[in-house]
Amino acid sequence: MKELLRILEPARHQRRWMLAGIGLGVAVIAANAALMAVSGWFIASMAVAGVAKASFNFFFPSAAIRLLAILRTVGRYAERLVTHEAAFRILADLRSWLFQRLIPLAPAGLERYASGDLAGRLRADIDSLESLYLRIIAPICSGLVSILLAGLFMAWFSITAALLLLALLLVAGLLLPLWTLRLAQQPGQQSVELAAALRNQVTQGLQGAEELLLLGASEHQAAQVERLSAELINRQISLGRLNAISGAALVSLAGSSLVLLALVLIPELQQQLSGPQLVMLLLFTSAVFEAVGPLSHALQLLPASSQVVERIRQLADAPPALPEPEINIKPVGYRIELREVSCSYSAGPAVLDQFSLTLAEGERVAVVGASGSGKSTLVELLLRFRPYQGSITIGGVELSDLAADELNRLVAALPQQPHLFNTTIRDNILLGRSISDQQLTEILIDCGLDAWIAGLPLGLDTPVAETGSAVSGGEARRIALARTLVMDTPVVLLDEPTEGLDSATEQVVVQRLNQRLEGRSVLLVTHRPAVLALAQRVVRIGQPT
């Protein structure tokens, strides 16, 4: 339970909403129990008054019953509204927190996770934590407080009955849920693991659908999905069966409680209790069991939630390739020096081995080499994406001592595989930045996008769809290039900036970039001869620099 509460730490400023939801839950239970108690007392008192032919003021209790009924209805609506608002706010904070934890991990720290698994942890696992507050924490807190208040109310009339009621409520609200928790432990954890495996299998199948069809493996993929789905359904059926058994046990305990309390309270008639008070307490007992009803289901959900929290923690607590420095050292200028730099992926051979390079301020250097020689890795190193051996300095500051915000101020990059978001061309280029229309138009011209965008019915407001599937590869790369130029940094890293362009468009883009990048430091990775016109110096990886 401690780990479940710790995962809510990023959403701690939502505690007012959480406490308000719990308070409303207690109020609703109290209003319902009071309504049943007052109704029973009122009806019994009217009957006694009728038999005794005595006068009875029914205005006050009848008004109280109406008020309690309204409070119960309005309170239930408000409780649902507040608890769901709290849950959604918590999810928003947790998703932002996890995404911020993922940023320093990309890409080196995330490579051991399959894309489907990673997406599942970021989306489905976080979404499933809606039940952590809504169906676990809030019901448990409301239930425990309501049990305590019920015992105090019963003690006002009979200490013996209060102790018996507390014992019965603890059996129904603690022992029974703990029993269901023990039985739900294994199927709950397995259901989370199977759901994650199913999401991963489906995601990989959709992403590799063409390859599966070409290799004739689509039926095998479908069989794997069907097997995982069947196993998940079996675990969910087990949990549903357990929930039904615990519900039946709770109903049996509630009925037994009425009988036992009646046996305790009946001897106290005419001594400490009147007949209407006996009816009131019995109906109150019946209503207060509403407080312990959700406890069993809440504890049954604990194993699955614990497994989800563990999956999220594994991802969030993974160490970044280069930890953020404790002290932010300001660089002097933006001269880049790499001295005997080596880098390898996991335990594999070195991709870069004792590589050295100097990029003076305002200099443009092209790096060429065979495929797999480490050209793109060089760009990733300068973006603090991967750990390295040797020394990399920018403005005289070691890269590992340079804060990410400071690096973003100095360096903009066009990676080998840029990502387009499922939004408009304009939003993909600006990413929240603000520039004038004139500046944006000039950047579009420099990237060779102006004529193409002018021919689109929606222009810059044209959606690019998921991962840019609505545009061609060349158009997607030019959109990403425009995004890089919008950042207007003194250092620009370009990895294959004209990939996917025809020769005529490539010539135009190279010519425009030659003017746009004047005075900036540029590290250019390419295998296309036409792009080398942007460089003042060409360095081949594996040869002296």
The full DSSP string for 49-70 is HHHHT-----HHHHHHHHHHHH
What is the model's pLDDT at position 114?
65
Query: Alpha-carbon distance 375 to 493, whole Å?
Result: 11
**Are 372 and 234 in the same domain?**
no
Query: Which of these, 52, 447, 116, 113, lies nearest to 275 by C-alpha position?
Result: 52
What is the model's pLDDT at position 175?
81
What letter would DSSP give residue 436? -
**Are 308 and 395 in the same domain?**
no
Q: Give a yes or no: residue 323 inside a domain.
A: no
Query: Alpha-carbon distance 499 to 512, whole Å?
Result: 16
Q: Give a yes or no: residue 327 inside a domain.
A: no
What is the model's pLDDT at position 236?
85
What is the model's pLDDT at position 542?
64
What is the model's pLDDT at position 353?
86
**Are 256 and 367 in the same domain?**
no
- The region that residue 384 occupies, defined by phi over 0 for left and psi between -120 and 50 for alpha, beta otherwise, is left
Query: Alpha-carbon distance 147 to 154, whole Å?
Result: 11
**Are 269 and 378 in the same domain?**
no
What is the model's pLDDT at position 242?
82
Q: Give a yes or no: residue 328 inside a domain.
A: no
Measured over the CA atoms of residue 190, residue 193, residue 197 and residue 199, the dihedral's sign is positive
Domain count, the chain: 2
Q: Give a yes or no: residue 108 inside a domain.
A: yes
Q: Give a yes or no: residue 321 inside a domain.
A: no
**Are 45 and 132 in the same domain?**
yes
**Are 274 and 347 in the same domain?**
no
Structural domain for 522, as ranges = 336-540
Sheet holding 521-525, edge to edge: 411-414, 491-495, 521-525, 364-368, 537-540
Q: Give a yes or no: residue 322 inside a domain.
A: no
What is the model's pLDDT at position 395?
92
CATH number at residue 445: 3.40.50.300
Cα 229–Cα 234–Cα 239 angle in degrees, nearest 5: 125
What is the model's pLDDT at position 70?
92
**Are 122 and 54 in the same domain?**
yes
CATH number at residue 220: 1.20.1560.10
> Which of 281, 316, 351 is the endpoint of a domain?
316
**Are 172 and 311 in the same domain?**
yes
Q: Give a yes or no: residue 523 inside a domain.
A: yes
> Which of 316, 349, 378 is the endpoint of a domain?
316
What is the model's pLDDT at position 545?
44
**Are 197 and 341 in the same domain?**
no
Q: Give a yes or no: residue 426 inside a domain.
A: yes
**Are 276 and 353 in the same domain?**
no
In the predicted model, residues of the chain with pLDDT beneath 50 are 544-545
**Are 182 and 291 in the same domain?**
yes
- For residue 107, whether the previous peptide bond is cis, meaning omega lies within 30 degrees of 0, is yes
Query: Alpha-carbon distance 115 to 107, whole Å?
Result: 12
What is the model's pLDDT at position 544?
44
> Which of 316, 347, 369 is the endpoint of a domain?
316
**Are 95 and 11 in the same domain?**
yes
